[in-house]
Each structure stands twice: as structure tokens, then as C-alpha cells.
Amino acid sequence: GKAGQQDVDVAILQALLKASRSHDYFGHENWDHQLQLAVAWNRVDIARSEIFSGERQWKPSELHPVMMAA
């Protein structure tokens, strides 16, 4: 059903976010890429729990391009 599909979507998105954390060339997490994925998948809940978890202080200049694309 639809709930099962949403569970699969969440699992895939979380796997993508985890992969983007571990593959940045400079050793920095790809926060902007993670945020773009969450916005593209329309998952505010995942953005809140996985990206805006308090580990990073976001600057308005970093958020602006992603929010404009939403």
C-alpha cells in the first residue's frame, strides 16, 4: 500500500543521505547535497531529523539557493 511505499522512500532517502555523508572528497559532509535531496523528495521530516539535527550551524546564504529551488 501507500504506507509501505512511503517506508521504502524514507529508507532509500536515508541511505542516500548516509552515503553523501561518507563520500565527500575533503572530509566534509555534503550538507547542501543532503538538503537538496530532502527537498527534492519533499521530506521535511527527514530534513529535520537527519540534516537540521544541530550538528551544523547553517548560514542564510547556504540555505537560500536550496529554498529558492524548492
Q: pLDDT tens across 15-24, in order? A: 888 877 665 5
> What residue type is 22 in one-letter code?
S
Cell 541511505 belongs to residue: 15
Query: pLDDT for 23-66, tens place per residue?
Result: 555 555 577 888 888 888 888 888 888 888 887 788 888 888 88
How far does the chain reach from its first CA to its final CA, in angstroms? Answer: 27
Angle, CA of 64, 65 and 66, to the nearest 5°: 95
| Contacts made by residues 52-61, CB under 8 angstroms, sequence distance 24+ | 56/29, 56/31, 58/31
Domain membership of residue 26 as a residue range: 2-69
Instruction: Tell me what pLDDT residue 70 has.
Output: 75
The count of structural domains within the chain is: 1
